[in-house]
Structure 1
């Protein structure tokens, strides 16, 4: 059996399972202080979420809100889609392994799905592209919160949102499948500039405004974000912003920050 081994465990997040659990417990203690059990946020039923992918100390709390909310849904498959930071290639690559390793244990990869998507959409498998932190940092959350699901990982490089959107739409035809879109926002501006640029991204997502997304948003995963916006508009999903912050919230350094957001896409009522 082939396993997608971890590439950034011990760097972006702890490699020790007890340390991972301790981090998640810390996030959830903060959530309990800020949101009561009756808060409307816990009544959301997302089909897809947007999450950041920096080191846990910077963006883990923001990701945790979305992934914990997603785990409360009646789903049995999660597909994580993120940009390639290390390897350039044309199109999108789908993981074609048997398992995805995390410090908390392995998650089974849906190889049948991988074969179907390869055939339907011409996806390839570029192994080097899957040593990718934008997707990997999400899997310990999934193993902790939804340990019995199957997973799949799609990493894109030179891709167009219009080509990625039909894949997402096809996946969401199954009500037991959820999508995770991975992106950070602006990189290494001072806090004022970062807040301005990131507000463009936030407003664009909130309004499903693709034109605004191209009016200054510097999200590294903008392709994936635009793809889920296309699908949301087509199938009637409503975006709900969950959290926004920058690395300055953790480091205190406002001179060069990275922005992070999380959002949920829920069925309109």
Structure 2
């Protein structure tokens, strides 16, 4: 089986293991453990100079002593998929060390008939999964031979499809040994993103963007997938990981439906913007980190 190269190393993040370790240590140390141990996190996937610090708040909530399998759900930016695709490789390279694919889980998921396979070019061109791998490698470094990963590329899904994948993945999310990473940036604002929503009750555009994002973040914290879908329809907010987030929300609902003794709490821990938009010629991308705890 082929090996997926770290194709964005050296551009989106450092290709030096020593430098990358220094950066990740710094960002993790800036965050406190306030909502863990996380069963799932939501974290951004932009270049580390923009979102590395924000991502640290999500990764700080992980308990590596517990986790033995990590599902990474990232949106497809370059290839149109009507469903979800699995990685047809043996391992993913990072500047720190290689991460091994859980082929047995891949086979289980394929048996559902709902998954296809990514070809290597699609896999290596996409950044939404890769940008989480250095953080995974860093957090899990003391257990590097004791865990596997399950990368899942998520296409453009209908609400019904999100619910289908949520039901399929709920049993995995229910297992405390599994961690789910939901890869998503938030609002992409500006003409280059073809999105310029502005609530003029705010003095500045960047304040309107943050307000819009926080409305969506509050809905996600409420764990209501239908309300989240309605929010996206109403505002059109360009949250690129909206379908992975939708899958997570449906999976949580499935767990709570099947076991009424359990409770779930999702909290956003950090919010940031790549820049502050003040006029219509500006642009920015928003980043948010969250953690899910299931008791």
Q: Could you state the TM-score of these two structures normalised by the residue count of structure 1?
A: 0.88
Equivalent residues of 1:121, 1:167 under 8 A apart: no
- State the distance in 2 between where 1:98 and 1:188 align: 37
For these two proteins, the number of residue pairs brought into alignment is 257
CA contact (8 A) 1:46 1:264 kept: yes
Whichever of the two has the greater Rg, that structure is 2
Output the aligned Cα RMSD: 1.9
> Do the aligned partners of 1:201 and 1:219 also contact (CA within 8 Å) in 2?
no
Q: CA offset at residue 23 of structure 1?
A: 1.0
SS in 2 for 1:138: helix
Gaps of 5+ in 2: 191-204, 257-263
Partner residue of 1:136? 130
Displacement of 1:211 after TM fit?
4.0
Alpha-carbon shift at residue 210 of structure 1 (Å) = 2.9
Distance in 1 (CA, whole Å) between partners of 2:71 and 2:19 is: 25
Unaligned 5+ residue runs, structure 1? Answer: none
SS in 2 for 1:154: strand
1:227 corresponds in structure 2 to 247
Distance change >3 Å, CA 140–CA 253, structure 1 → 2? same
By how many angstroms is 1:253 displaced? 6.0
Task: Look up the match of 1:174.
Answer: 175
How far is 1:163 from its partner? 2.6
SS at 1:21's partner residue? Answer: helix
**Equivalent residue, structure 1, for 2:14:** 14
Could you list the per-position Cα deviations for residues 140-161 of structure 1 after superposition, in whole angstroms to 9, with x for gaps in the alignment? 1111111322111000113231
Matched, 1:243 2:270: yes
Determine if contact 2:156/2:243 at 8 Å carries over to the other structure. no
In the TM superposition, what is the alpha-carbon distance from 1:13 to its structure 2 partner? 0.9
Check 1:243–1:192 CA distance in 2 against 1; reply closer, same or farther (3 A cut).
Answer: same
Deviation at 1:224, TM superposition (A): 1.0
Distance 2:135 2:227 in 1: 31
Q: Deviations over 1:228-255 (max 9, x none)?
A: 112222324221111111112xxx6653
Aligned partner of 2:260 in structure 1 is: none
State how 1:1-269 maps to structure 2 within 5 Å. 1-31=1-31, 35=32, 41=34, 44-72=36-64, 74-127=66-119, 128-131=121-124, 132-147=126-141, 148=144, 149-159=147-157, 160-189=161-190, 190-213=205-228, 214-215=230-231, 216=235, 217-236=237-256, 237-248=264-275, 255-268=282-295
